[in-house]
Amino acid sequence: MHAARSELRMLVTSAGRRVELIECFRDAADSIGVALVVIACDQYPELSAACHRADMAFAVPPVTSYEYVPAIAAAVRTHGIGLVVPTIDPELLPLARSAALFADEGAQLALSGASLVAMCTDKLATANFLARHRLPSPRTLPVEEALAKPLDWPGPLFVKPRYGSASRGVRAVDSLASLDGETFPEPMLAQALLAGSEYTINMFFDREGSLCSAIAHERLRVRGGEVEKGITRRNPRLLRLARDLAAVLPEPRGALCFQAMVAPDGTASIFEINARFGGGYPLAHRAGANFARWLIEESLARPVTATDDWQADVMMLRYDSTVFVAP
């Protein structure tokens, strides 16, 4: 029993379709006696399912606009928001660079430091970071450099945008020869093709940057870059890899995730790091890795109950649902 229900007003930015994420926070708040007010924003909130499911919603400029961060900060001030949860890659670095602004307003920004965010949003920087720290990862180069030495790349490979997200523009090719004469609208990378089973490992870091929980799920089926069917797995190699990665990350805080491929021989390689909630977080939440609860506890200066005691073999089977908007 809680003597009184504390109140917390939280903001989910670029809310889009993140209805499940909002429901995870509501579930977490209810479990610890917190009256949670969910505010959401989007460039077009009238077309956002999550904005319609929030308690309040408002429009913001595009995340690429210089007006975006000031608009978020103004909303924090106006609505007394105590927790800000970003959701998409393009907004992460502008928000991270303005962390002090949100702290001055008394709001916790659920985001790692700017140096980590900058590395994660640049896939070449991510590859170089992993190689520098001798963490297993596929060979990655700008396409132009790979094309200059095609004999060094005899097999199949991935081609993907250096600054892409949500699997945009990612494709597998049999060899570099298939790219001869092709032009690209943005910087592209060549990455050695990995074989095996694909995993996401969700990690939670406290305010001091200590890893509190790491939970892996196998991505059984993916749609639009987001897991559609998945199952939690206690894979010792992946969890050890999570600890090794956590030990070298600069300024990690809150929710992060990384993608890894586990080869048939059991070896694992990291090929991407995301400095935000992963799209498959609801599966981790259901399995007991309650990142939402721990962020709420931090925001209210309560003792944080973070634990690495989560349940393996929990399966998620997603389906499409609908939000109807009355005329």
Cα–Cα distance for residue pair 197/178, rounded to 1 Å: 26
pLDDT surpasses 50 at 3: no
Count of Cβ atoms closer than 10 Å to residue 70 Cβ: 14
The pLDDT of 25-31, averaged and rounded, is: 98
Domains of the chain by start residue, with CATH: 6-110 (3.40.50.20), 117-122+195-317 (3.30.470.20), 139-192 (3.30.1490)
* pLDDT (0 to 100) of residue 2: 39
Nearest one of 116, 121, 311 to 216, comparing CA atoms: 311
Cα–Cα distance for residue pair 34/32, rounded to 1 Å: 6
Measured over the CA atoms of residue 112, residue 277, residue 133 and residue 168, the dihedral's sign is negative
Burial of 172 (0-12, 13-18, 19+ CB in 10 A): exposed
Q: Are 113 and 106 in contact (CB under 8 A)?
A: no
pLDDT surpasses 80 at 155: no
Per-chain mean pLDDT for the chain: 93
CA distances from 188 to 147, 228, 295 (A): 12, 27, 36
Beta strands in the chain (DSSP E): 6-12, 34-42, 56-59, 83-85, 108-109, 140-142, 157-161, 171-173, 188-192, 197-205, 211-223, 226-233, 254-262, 268-274, 315-317
The pLDDT of 177-202, averaged and rounded, is: 87
The pLDDT of 283-297, averaged and rounded, is: 98
| 229-258 pLDDT, tens digit each | 999 999 999 999 999 999 999 999 999 999
Q: Are 188 and 142 in contact (CB under 8 A)?
A: yes
| 80-89 pLDDT, tens digit each | 999 999 999 9
Record the tokens describing residue 128, joined without a space.
């170089």
Bridge partner list, 275: none
Q: Is residue 6 helix, strand or coil?
A: strand
Nearest one of 109, 105, 136, 119 to 250, comparing CA atoms: 119
* pLDDT (0 to 100) of residue 167: 62
Cα–Cα distance for residue pair 185/155, rounded to 1 Å: 25
The pLDDT of 295-308, averaged and rounded, is: 96
| 54-103 pLDDT, tens digit each | 999 999 999 999 999 999 999 999 999 999 999 999 999 999 999 999 99
Region for 121 from its dihedrals, namely left if φ exceeds 0, alpha if ψ lies in -120 to 50, beta otherwise: alpha
